[in-house]
Amino acid sequence: MGDKEKEKKDFLLYELEKPITFEQADISQIDLRKLREMTLEDLSELYDTYAVFGEGEGVMQECNLKFVRLLMQRATGYPLEALNKIGMRDAVRLKARVYRFFYLSK
């Protein structure tokens, strides 16, 4: 299997159903593969940022849309303002992929 085929099958590489434009940049894909490189320190910082927004530590907060948005910001480098433009269906599907990353086997 070639690198391009493998890349297309990676569940952390998501093609938006409804591409977005932010500050004259077109975004059609969300690449969450950086999650595999992140550390406990990164996760702790995300929890701290999540708490600053007034969110407490809940059960499975990794599946909360607000937390997923912060996680996507860290993984993709896109600002929150850009991620907020993602369509509702795409957002829920991305949340499911984050759940899969944390809780399900490949």
3-state secondary structure 33-91: HHHHHCCHHHHHHHHHHHHHCCCCCCCCHHHCHHHHHHHHHHHHCCCHHHHCCCCHHHH
- How many domains does one find in the chain? 1
Domain of residue 78, residue span: 60-106
Lowest mean pLDDT among 9-23, 50-64, 76-90: 50-64
CA-based nearest residue to 80, from 92, 89, 71: 71
Could you tell me if residue 8 is inside a domain?
A: no
**DSSP single-letter state for residue 103:** H
pLDDT tens-digit map of 22-36: 999 999 999 999 999
Question: Is pTM beyond 0.75 here?
Answer: yes
Assess whether pLDDT exceeds 70 at residue 7. Answer: no
Assess whether pLDDT exceeds 70 at residue 1. Answer: no
Could you tell me if residue 68 is inside a domain?
A: yes
Could you tell me if residue 11 is inside a domain?
A: no
Mean pLDDT for the chain overall: 87
Could you tell me if residue 3 is inside a domain?
A: no
User: Is there a contact between 49 and 71 (Cβ–Cβ < 8 Å)?
Assistant: no
